[in-house]
């Protein structure tokens, strides 16, 4: 009789499954958070790489025979690299711009023009993307805080000196 009462008092039946269910929820939450942060970092890296490659390739064009549309050339180079990032970034959500300035002060102040002429030798290439996290885990204060930090417009800019064979 005493042995049966002792077993009931210190029984561990089902404790492992309850502990597993609590820890599993926390584990899944951290896996999704790690995935979301890695996705964010990948998108930033992909945008930086594509922007630098497209800007570098479009800054030097042979314009001795005709006028080069640097905006179009930049767009073509940038979006030709979408195989690198198309799994995570929708190309329709990306805004790509090329503007041209004659001095560094104009670049700093943002007084650039979208029209190129031979006096405006500095090209300011920019890429913007509205990042939206997956929000698999919601309704929790810490996850809402994290996701609100990640939700926003990602903008990358680079300035190149336009070189030509002219």
Is 46's pLDDT higher than 70? yes
Query: How close are the terminal C-alpha atoms of the chain, in Å?
Result: 103
Q: Is 50 helix (H, G, I), strand (E, B) or coil?
A: helix
- Average pLDDT on 67-92 reads 80
The mean predicted confidence, pLDDT, of the chain is 78
- Among 29-33, 127-131, 138-142, 152-156, the range scoring the smallest mean pLDDT is 138-142
- CB distance 162 to 70 below 8 Å: yes
Q: Would you place residue 142 in the very low, low, confident or very high pLDDT band (cuts 50, 70, 90)?
A: low
For 24, residues 6+ apart whose C-beta sits below 8 A from its C-beta are none
Which pLDDT does position 12 carry in this prediction?
A: 65
Task: Supply the Cα-derived Rg of the chain in whole angstroms.
Answer: 27
Is 143's pLDDT higher than 80? no
């Amino acid at each position: 009789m005493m042995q049966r009462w002792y077993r009931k008092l210190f029984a561990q039946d089902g404790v492992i499954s309850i502990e597993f269910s609590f820890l599993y929820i926390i584990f899944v939450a951290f896996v999704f958070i790690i995935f979301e942060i890695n996705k964010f970092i990948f998108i930033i890296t992909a945008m930086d790489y594509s922007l630098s490659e497209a800007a570098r390739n479009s800054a030097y064009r042979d314009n001795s025979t005709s006028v080069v549309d640097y905006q179009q050339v930049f767009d073509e180079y940038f979006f030709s690299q979408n195989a690198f990032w198309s799994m995570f970034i929708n190309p329709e959500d990306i805004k790509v711009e090329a503007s041209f300035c004659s001095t560094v002060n104009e670049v700093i102040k943002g007084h650039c023009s979208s029209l190129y002429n031979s006096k405006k030798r500095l090209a300011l290439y920019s890429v913007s993307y509205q990042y939206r996290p997956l929000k698999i885990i919601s309704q929790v204060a810490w996850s809402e805080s994290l996701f609100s930090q990640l939700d926003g417009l990602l903008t990358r800019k680079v300035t190149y000196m336009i070189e030509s064979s002219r």
